[in-house]
Every structure is written in C-alpha cells, then in structure tokens.
Amino acid sequence: MTTHVKRAFKYRFCPTDAQAAELSRTFGCVRKVYNMALAARTEAWTLRQERVNYNATSAMLTAWKKTEELAFLNDVSSVPLQQALRHLQTAFANFFGKRAMYPRFKSLKKSRKSAEYTSSAFRFRDGKLTLAKMAEPLDIVWSRPLPDGSMPSTVTVSQDAAGRWYVSLLVEDPTIQPLPANGRAVGVDAGLDHLLTLSTGEKVTNPRHERRDRAGLAKAQRELSRKAKGDGVNRAKARRRVARVHARIADRRRDTLHKITTRLVRENQTIVIEDLTVRNLLKNGKLARSISDAAWSQFRSMLEYKAAWYGREVIAVDRWFPSSKLCSCCGMLQEKMPLNVRTWTCDCGITHDRDVNAARNILAAGLAVSACGAGVRPQRSSPGGQSAMKQETPRREP
C-alpha cells in the first residue's frame, strides 16, 4: 500500500466585500477563542495545578456561545473555532515535550490572521471552493494545478500584513516519490560573502534581498514613524506600505531558497550541513542583519522536508566542529582563523579557500557520522599540541 505525502498548495484569491467581512469576523473570533482558552488553561494550572485538555476547552466554547456577551461567536462557522482549540492543544503538547516555548496570546496587530476549515466546513467541486457561511465560491488565482483527482482535507484562509489574501489547500500528492539513489554526497558551508559554498568548489551567490530594498524600506518606515499613533487610516496605509516591502523581500528570498534546495536534493543522495544556532549568531550586532537576510534556518527547514519527500538524507555536523581551521588534506588544525582570512596555506603546502575547505571538512565529518555514528572523526594534533576533538573551539564564524 502506497502512502502519499500530504502537501499544501497555496494560492492568492480576491474576496468580495461580503467575503472579506465574513473572513475578518472569523479571524477575530478565532483569535478571541484561542486567547480565552489559553487564559483558562493558564489560570487552571497557576491556581489549581490542573491541566485542561482540548475536550474541556471545547465544552467551555459551547458555554461561551450561550452567554450574551459572546453570542457573536455563533455568527461564524464553528469549525475554525474548534480548530483554534486543537492548535492550542498542539502548542501545549510541544511545550510539555520541550519542543517549543509556552504558548503566547494572539495579538490583533502582530499575529497572523488565519482560519482553518475541515472538510465539513467547505465544498470543493469542479475547481470551485466555497466556505461555510458564504454563498459564493472564492475567486482563486489558480497559479498551478492541483494533483489530478485530489480532494482537500483542510483549507486554511489567511491574510498577511500587506493585505494579500491566501488560501492553502492540504491534499495528498501522488507525484512525490523517492528519487533513484545516485550515491552522490555534498558538504554545504553557509556564509555571508557567498550564501552557500559546496564541497565541489561551487559557490552560490548571496542575493542579499534585504539590502536591495533597504532604501525603499527605510523610506516607508520613516513615513510610518511620522503618522500619529493609533488606528487612523493614514497610519494603516503607511503600515501596509512597510509590510509590502517586507513581503517583497520575503517572497524573493523564499523563491531563491526553494530553487537551491530543490536542486541540492535532486542532485545528491546525502547532504551534509552544519548545525548552526542562528538565534545565538543573531546576537552579533554587526552581522545580525546580514545573517537574518541569509535565512539559514529557513534553508535547513526546506532542505530537510524535501529530503524526506524524495528519499534523501540530510546530516547535521556538530556546531563546534572546527571546519574552517582544519586542513582537509592532512588534518592539521590551525590555532586561529580570523574572519578576514579567506585563503590560507597549511604546513603541508596546500593553499585552501576558507569556505571550500570548510565545506569539504563538513562533508568528511558527515560521512563519518553516517558510517559509524560517531560525532566527528579524530584529527591529528596541531603544532600547539591540541587535537580537534579535545580543543575547546569557539563558535565557528559565519
């Protein structure tokens, strides 16, 4: 029995005024229910050391709808409200499993506006999608076809900060199948001068998307700062202009990363990367903006789920592995390697490009992990008498 991968297909759509009003009400009710359930669960634990589960919050929702104060919850579809409670349950499960921070309240201005509909709350026929409480189907821009014969299991409607409307359909995609094994392996070193450097010697240019729009972003932000604070129309327009610049940057960055990760997964059986702690690297005041623009975490996330789709392997090498300071030919470890040193010559006579050498070391360490389950392979001692395994190395520079 073949198990198909579930995949979300995201499309833009243009709602009518009535649909936009209905969806805006739904977003508000979803946020209200989520925050009330979170407050109830937090209070129960703080005061009585009692854990409240999804079933209890679902019963609370039924009671809330019967009160005069919250009667407006009956005006929208009940499914997105129930889904909000399920999402809260997942958030708590991740928290207790030490996979995430404690759930936070949804903000009117900062949180993502979205509502999730299950199959009982929408109708999908002949390429037309109609949501509960709506008389007309959504005017969707079908930028790419859904898999033949697919039927959405859930539909998520959202609106971003730039005011753009999206609908995401979760379907089973039979076209995603493991690729033929090719035995190729590649090491990947993430950087700033070049976005990625491969162990083959290839360097991927860093597009620096944020830098290209930095002047326009600064202008939009200055205009926003001049608007009186509050809920005025002019301030809302200025906020959307800032959001549109950010959205354009994020769209270009996402498109670039999709193309790079898809190519790496298709061409290589094994991909070795570094286990970088981007959160800590962002504490570097001089490089934080460039590191954020490089989006290393997003790159890794895309690489991992695509590798899972297509039967490839992604190996993460320990972040303390001194890949830049280690000679990939003789294994000699250098004592220091400042960021401004881009090429260096080992005592064995080999001249290294810093990034290519690091990528080759990352590949070797990753293959050692794959072969024997070790951390990183033992290396020869450097002239100072310290080995790569024993030396306490600082975090490797990007």
Task: Write out the chain's pLDDT in tens, 398 residues.
Answer: 456 789 999 999 999 999 999 999 999 999 999 999 999 999 998 888 888 999 999 999 999 999 999 999 999 999 999 999 999 999 999 999 999 999 999 998 889 999 999 999 999 998 899 999 999 999 999 999 998 888 999 999 999 999 999 999 999 998 889 999 998 999 999 988 899 999 999 999 999 999 999 999 999 999 999 998 877 899 999 999 999 999 999 999 999 999 999 999 999 999 999 988 888 888 888 888 998 999 999 999 999 999 999 999 999 988 888 888 888 788 778 778 777 778 878 878 788 888 888 899 899 888 887 766 544 433 333 334 343 433 333 333 33
Nearest alpha carbon to residue 299 among 331, 238, 255: 255
Here the tokens at position 372 are 């024997």
Longest Cα–Cα distance of the chain, Å, equals 82
List active site positions: 189, 274, 355
Q: How far is CA 30 from CA 51, 69, 265, 343, in A?
A: 22, 16, 38, 55
- DSSP of 238-282: HHHHHHHHHHHHHHHHHHHHHHHHHHHHHH-SEEEEE---HHHHT
Q: In what order do the strands lie in the sheet with 113-118?
A: 5-12, 165-173, 154-159, 113-118
Length of the chain: 398
Q: Helices H, strands E: what count in the chain? A: 10, 13
The model's pTM: 0.83
Three-state SS at 349: coil
> Are the C-beta atoms of residues 186 and 197 closer than 8 Å to each other?
no
Here the tokens at position 397 are 């520079």
CA distance 310 to 2: 14
- For the chain, what are the domain ranges? 5-173, 185-206+263-372
Q: Alpha helix (H) ranges present in the chain?
A: 17-48, 54-65, 78-96, 209-212, 214-226, 233-267, 278-281, 288-294, 296-310, 354-372
> Are the C-beta atoms of residues 335 and 384 closer than 8 Å to each other?
yes
Name residue 272's beta-bridge partners: 187, 315
CA distance 53 to 55: 6
* Run of H or E residues at 171: strand 165-173
